[in-house]
Amino acid sequence: MTMTRKTFLGALAGTAAAVAAPRIARAQTITLRFHQFLPPQAPIPANAIAPWAKKIETDSGGRIRVQLFPSMQLGGRPPELFDQVKDGVVDFMWTVLGYTPGRFPKSEVFELPFSCGRAEPASRAFQAYVEQNAMDEFRDVKLICVHTHGPGLFHSKDPIRKLEDLKGMKVRGGSRIINIMLEQLGAVPVGMPVPQTGEALSKGVISATTIPWEVAPALKIHEIVKNHTGFTGEKGLYTQTFAVAMNKAKYDALPADLKKVIDDNSGAATASIFGRAMDEGDKAGRALAERAGNSIVTLDAAETARWQRTAAGVRAVWYREVSGKGIDGPKLAAAAEALIEKFAKS
């Protein structure tokens, strides 16, 4: 068979395309690993992280693929997550800021007692606060968003109906600030990441825990203990703060259009999504405890005021500690309170 010039050029083009196609596909498909500490059915992994990852994939036209690794499947412990993403061990992570005590002193202001209420407005406030006052604490990563959980309460083996009931009780605390608060309230704080809480309650290592309703079902807390104590008013006793972050070098290596995909799925709107998942999780968690016939106590206004007065000393401790780091605690607290108030009304 005689090959004409036209046939030859066509065959050459086809060969070049066949060789180039795999190379183009490889260049356009980037797989990124997202690591976090809760099982996949928990509200944040199921209703915030998974939809967020799917949206990244959709918005990138399939050029970014996000692999989800729940329950510390890639190794390490929850307090190591921030360093894992900073050091490039993983590409994305979600963590509790309080798991690394003292690392985020400016962000700790949102953990002060009776600061925050519903998670969605509080998360929007926290995101705005960090962008205005604490981005230096996240300079080693690409920050996707920060957020909070909803009003903090107690889950306990024995009922907590007044401040004195807490005296001498071993209570799990999720952060340095919460542990200081528990001590001032008369409890014996026991710090541990949330995945250890169920086992610690079952084995009697602790008698109560500070977690929001949202995470209780994933840990089966409503089955292990039968008492739950909250407070009058919109604000909870305590708040945990969270962050979603990306490895900075991995972000910097992306082409401009894919950086825009990440940017468009970062910031206030994303913080709101995570906060909303927390609020919906609170409703579901409480409903499970109600169906189980558990005792759910809301301390009245007078008793709540007693707890507020007793826990107020935490603020003075925090002011003193951050002052030693050159941080103006009262100024940051005022900024946080103004933003919390602003977004609570919006």
Token code pair at residue 99: 């798991």
Give the SS3 label for residue 133. Answer: helix
Q: What is the 3-state secondary structure (H, E, C) of 229-247?
A: EEECCCCCCCCCEEEEEEE
User: What tens digit of pLDDT does each residue of 141-186 get?
Assistant: 999 999 999 999 999 999 999 999 999 999 999 999 999 999 999 9
Token code pair at residue 222: 């409503």
What pLDDT is attached to residue 27? 52
Q: Does position 288 have pLDDT exceeding 90, yes or no? A: yes
User: What tens digit of pLDDT does each residue of 95-122 get?
Assistant: 999 999 999 999 999 999 999 999 999 9
Report CA 102 to chain centroid distance, whole Å: 17
Q: Structural domain boundaries of the chain?
A: 30-149+240-281, 153-238+293-345
Task: Let me know if domain 153-238+293-345 sits in CATH 3.30.70.3270.
Answer: no
What pLDDT is attached to residue 292? 96
> For residue 22, what pLDDT band results from cuts at 50, 70 and 90?
very low
> In this structure, are residues 151 and 117 in contact, taking their beta carbons and an 8 Å threshold?
yes
Mean pLDDT calculated for residue range 299-325: 97
Phi/psi-derived region of residue 62, left when phi > 0, alpha when psi is between -120 and 50, beta in every other case: left
> What is the helix, strand, coil percentage profile of the chain, to 5?
55, 15, 30
Alpha carbon distance 55, 76 (integer Å): 28
**For the structural domain made of 30-149+240-281, what CATH number should be given?**
3.40.190.170
What pLDDT is attached to residue 329? 98
Alpha carbon distance 94, 45 (integer Å): 9
> In this structure, are residues 20 and 66 in contact, taking their beta carbons and an 8 Å threshold?
no
Do the two domains 30-149+240-281 and 153-238+293-345 of this chain adopt the same fold? Answer: yes
